[in-house]
Amino acid sequence: MTKEEIFDLMNTNPVFHLATVEDDQPRCRAVFLYRADDNGIIFHTSVKKPLYSQIIKNPKVELCFNDPKNGIQVRVTGKLDLIEDNNFKDEICEHPTRKFLKSFRDSGKMEDFYNDLKVFCLKGGKAFSWSMKTNFMPKEIISL
């Protein structure tokens, strides 16, 4: 797969699994992608979730995207960076897929919305794809 095909797979299948480490225990959960392109793989979480503290303590992660229609999986390893830009947080809230965030921001339900919402970006990750067809072939690493 090319880098562009990988980004397309991610954006078409925006629910991915994110693996972190807490002490010596792996943790994995489903996360909702904001977008993936040459600017990075971007998602958000709340400062109140264990995910946030796990990333702050160890920003090295692995992401796993799945395209069930085509039987392809893409795994990405890399280091997450925190984005603290309230204008970007507003951009995310205005996206049609993030109406739930916009309602929190605009209603005041979250006491300190901009400090609670944490945005992360993985840039320069290493990706590889897997399918039954390529199961026993060497991995081709793609730099994102």
pLDDT tens sequence across 78-133: 999 999 999 999 999 999 999 888 888 888 766 789 999 999 999 999 999 999 99
Number of domains in the chain: 1
pLDDT exceeds cutoff 80 at 6: yes
How many other CB atoms sit within 10 Å of the CB of residue 23? 8
SS3 38: coil
On average, the pLDDT of the chain sits at 95
SS3 26: strand
Q: Which domain holds residue 94?
A: 3-143
Domain CATH for 98: 2.30.110.10
DSSP string covering 63-114: EEEEETTTTEEEEEEEEEEEE--HHHHHHHHHSGGGHHHHHHHHHT-STTHH
Q: What pLDDT score does 115 carry?
A: 92
